[in-house]
Every structure is written in C-alpha cells, then in structure tokens.
Amino acid sequence: MSLQLVGAVMILAAFVLAQSGRVAFGSARYLWPNFIGSSLLVIDATAGNQWGFALLEGAWALYSLLGLVDWARGRPASGQEAA
C-alpha cells in the first residue's frame, strides 16, 4: 500500500470513528491517527511537488499536533469543552 493511501486511511478511519461516537474528536485516539496520517501525506505531497496539498495537510498535521499538546497538558483540545 502506498504512503498516500496509508495516510488517507488513517485520517478517514479516525473521522469515521469520531462521527460514529466511538472516539471523541479531541481525544488522543482521534488526534494521533490524524497527525500521523496527515504527516505521511505531507511527505508524499512534498516528494511529488504538490505544494497546495502539502500546505493543506501540513495545516492539518499542525492542528492535530496542537491538540495532542493540549491533551498531554490535560486541557481539552481546541474547540472542545472540558468534561
């Protein structure tokens, strides 16, 4: 399976799990696959000189990383209410 497909499947799987209520959008179980998947897509896009796609996925990876930092600090991820 290509790097691009692995990244896309990771992001989509996390989204489906969150949409179905099996994981919370601000949880580590949602944010990690998004961070890893989007990072893989950035690598693939950069290798293919697809700069718009790299920018999009880079922003997605950064937002996921910031959410993980908030989660690690015990704060709700951006846009999430405290439980």
Q: Which domain, by its residues, includes 69?
A: 23-78
| Within a domain: 17 | no
* 32-37: average pLDDT: 96
| Within a domain: 44 | yes
pLDDT of the residue at 75: 78
Q: How far is Cα 20 from Cα 15, in angstroms, rounded to an integer?
A: 9
pLDDT of the residue at 9: 96
Q: How far is Cα 83 from Cα 80, in angstroms, rounded to an integer?
A: 9
**pLDDT tens by residue, 43-54:** 999 999 999 999
**Residue 11 is encoded by which pair of tokens?**
């992001």
| Sign of torsion over alpha carbons 71, 14, 60, 46 | positive
Count of domains forming the chain: 1
**Residue 13 is encoded by which pair of tokens?**
């799987």
**pLDDT tens by residue, 37-81:** 999 999 999 999 999 999 999 999 999 999 999 988 887 655 554
Q: What H or E segment, with its residue span, contains residue 41?
A: helix 28-47
| Within a domain: 15 | no
